[in-house]
Amino acid sequence: MQSKLKNRFTAKRLALMAVFTALSYAVSLLEIPLPLFGASFLKLDFGNVFIVLIAFLLGPAEGVLVCLMKEGLRCLSSTSMCAGELANFFVTSSYLLLPSILYQYRKTLKTVILSLSASCLIATAVALTVNRVLIFPTYAYLMGGNIFGMTVAESFSALWIGLLLFNLIKTMAVGILTMLLYKRLSNFLKKMKI
């Protein structure tokens, strides 16, 4: 068990995880507003591409750790008492687990496409749940008990379709970019013997 951990967390692999954490964090700061159905707070970023890539390259545990570190960095400037960052951790982890686990056993393009497609649906369902249970109540608390003059239930009911579409668009975009970048990155890392 200890030798397995030593092999998984070598200096090269830890350095690679740190680089991907920094890339993910930096890219996540470049947010593109994508307001759907009046939800002006919805912003698209591609920081999760680097988290999914590291999960494919090194494994699901490493992907979750990079996600945790990236969201920890985002917490330093959080405006939501870290609720948004915690929600993003849950959604991203749910998105990367299935494809990165399956990829460890079957490294084919078909596996990647099918598992990322399924993960779009899984992560979207998790995002809707986390928004209803964590994000909306937190924002209601921060805004003095309601959101735009509505209760948590009313505001979620008014915005859930926008949330659904946003998360489908975001997860599909992350999946497509991951597939476009993966092979090149994989070949480069093989040369480096990581």
**pLDDT confidence bin for 107, thresholds 50/70/90:** confident
Q: What is the pLDDT of residue 108?
A: 84
107 exposure class (CB count in 10 Å sphere: 0-12, 13-18, 19+): exposed
Q: Looking at per-residue confidence, does 104 or 42 come out higher?
A: 104
Average pLDDT value for the chain: 88
pTM: 0.89
pLDDT of residue 149: 80
Where is pLDDT greater, at 131 or 139?
Answer: 131
| Per-residue pLDDT, 5 | 66
- Mean pLDDT over 136-161 rounds to 84
- pLDDT at residue 192 is higher than 90: no
pLDDT at site 56? 92
